[in-house]
Amino acid sequence: MKFTLLAGHFLTFAAASAVPILEGNLATRELQPGEIILINGNKTDVVTEVALHEFYKAEGILLEKPAIDEEWLNFVPELVNETSAELSARQIRCSPTTSLVVDRQERFVDWDVQMSPVVLGAGAGITVRVESGWTVSNAVSVSAGVDGTWVKDRLSTTFGVSYTRTWTSTTSQSYQVPIPAGQRGVFVTQPWTNRKYGRTFRGCPGSMVQTGTFMADSHEEGSYENSRWVSGQITACIKRYGPKQVGTRMTRCNGQGEFR
């Protein structure tokens, strides 16, 4: 992840220590070039790139989003050749149960999540602000034939995390940053994500058979301006807007895809 003002990258960060934000200060807070809002649970600070990377290193959070393991999610269960008599005998011995296991976990800084409209700079510059109505959600992906709702429910019970949870920004004009002429910009959240890969099984104790695989992404609770949001960083994504960019949508600074 790079942080510069060049096209396709973030603002350059000035070297400074973290500055705690007191309640009520965000409504009029104009971010300076290089400043990032770090939301960590109920604590909010203005930090620099150096401080941010030190925090991520200490927390074991990867700076880059790992590629999705498509091979894992393309699992196909083996066909079991079993006669009706064998099936009946096995079912008499026990009541088949369904279970899951988590095989590995990753924690990383996720791609940009839009938090404001895209604004074109003009004249001495135009201000862009965080607005309400933008969302971030937990999600579960499963291989063919697996009941995604069951996986969500079992993971929620096991880890105390709701995989149907969606956060919606509710505070407008919390932060603002000027967009110079010849540039376009948007406020973004880069939430850190906890990803779990696992397998599902069905059968009797001692003879469980794998039925599928899953990938579960969850975010951590955070807050700013007394509003519930996800933990992560909030910053401005600013890119050049010249003749070649006219008629095109602005693309993410961190990650693939376009802003609305």
Binning pLDDT at 50, 70 and 90, where does residue 254 land? very high
Backbone angles phi, psi at 124, to 5 degrees: -80, 0
**Other beta carbons within 10 Å of 120:** 15
Counting Cα atoms < 13 Å in the Cβ hemisphere of 239 gives: 21
Report the predicted TM-score, pTM, of the whole model to 2 decimal places: 0.81
Judged against a pLDDT cut of 70, whether residue 236 lies above it is answered with yes
For the residues 225-245, what does the mean pLDDT come to?
88
Judged against a pLDDT cut of 70, whether residue 260 lies above it is answered with yes
CB neighbours of 202 closer than 8 A, spacing ≥ 6?
96, 97, 98, 99, 208, 209, 211
* pLDDT single digits (tens) 5-29: 323 323 222 223 344 433 444 455 6
Judged against a pLDDT cut of 80, whether residue 237 lies above it is answered with yes
* Of 98 and 122, more confident: 98
Residue 120 contacts residue 127 (beta carbons within 8 Å): no
Residue 171 contacts residue 224 (beta carbons within 8 Å): yes
Length of the chain: 260
Judged against a pLDDT cut of 70, whether residue 171 lies above it is answered with no
**Other beta carbons within 10 Å of 183:** 20
Per-residue pLDDT, 6: 29
* Of 92 and 36, more confident: 36
For the residues 202-212, what does the mean pLDDT come to?
88
Candidate from 36-50, 59-73, 80-94 with smallest mean pLDDT: 80-94
**Other beta carbons within 10 Å of 181:** 12
For the residues 134-163, what does the mean pLDDT come to?
96
CA 258 to chain CA centroid, Å, is: 16
Candidate from 59-63, 185-189, 196-200 with smallest mean pLDDT: 185-189
Q: What is the greatest pairwise CA distance in the chain? A: 82
Judged against a pLDDT cut of 90, whether residue 126 lies above it is answered with no
Task: Encode 26-75 in three state secondary structure.
Answer: HHHEECCCCCEEEEECCEEEEECHHHHHHHHHHHCCECCCCCCCHHHHCC
